[in-house]
Amino acid sequence: MTGTWIAIGILSLVAFGAAMLVAREGRSVWTLLASAMVFALAGYAWQGSPDLAASPRQASTTVSPTSEALIEARRAFYNVEGILPSRFVVTADGFSRRGQNLDAAGLLRNGVNEDPEDGEAWLALALALSEHTRGRITPPVAYAFLRAREASPGNPAPGYFRGLIALRSGELGEAREYWAEALSEAPEDAKGREYLAQQLERLDGVIRILGERSRQQGAPQMPPMMGAPSPDAEP
């Protein structure tokens, strides 16, 4: 885990550096920054795969780095020692790692039909579908996220990943809303809560930097931020 948190720190610093250097570009930088932060935030459990082929073209036929990162991050929120995900989730993850997200979604639908209270299966379904739609929130994607939240009370994972999809689209304000809500609803001892709080703090810093640069240069400003939620805030 130590190497994982080192990776988080390095990637977050890179994202902040990008904000400082190119924020003058206005809204165009928001999407650029969001793209850089995707792997800093979602890929915190993915530190690289040295066994992959050196050629990007060859590697892309065997593994999807984005899906791999999302799977590892999802597992970090749900992982309980000695307890594995359902067989549907395990098998579907194999398809998603190869970029076969539609096939993964089909398996996961069987999983949630068998156990409608499997929150991780619902979240895996939401992520597989959103990867298939390239981040577009279709009704099935939104429904899967909703069911994941209902089946995982107190787990910040559904809100974190829903916000992450918004972040990937450059919607920093929307991402912040999802993260703040997930943080306020998570118990103090919830798995991943501390990590989410740190990422929300970093995102607030980026939003402040971009807002200040926009005001200084007379560019369109981002929507005003809500106050940072207290750890003791009621849902």
Helices (H), the chain: 2-22, 27-41, 56-60, 65-78, 87-97, 101-114, 119-132, 139-151, 157-168, 172-185, 193-217
Q: Show the tokens assigned to 9.
A: 């720190």
Question: Residue 62 has what pLDDT?
Answer: 62
Whether the predicted pLDDT of 175 surpasses 50:
yes
Question: Residue 159 has what pLDDT?
Answer: 96
Question: Residue 5 has what pLDDT?
Answer: 40
185-205 confidence digits (pLDDT tens): 999 999 999 999 999 999 999
Q: pLDDT higher for 35 or 144?
A: 144
Q: Show the tokens assigned to 108.
A: 């996961």
Q: What is the pTM of this model?
A: 0.69
Q: How far apart are CA 200 and CA 225, in angstroms?
A: 12
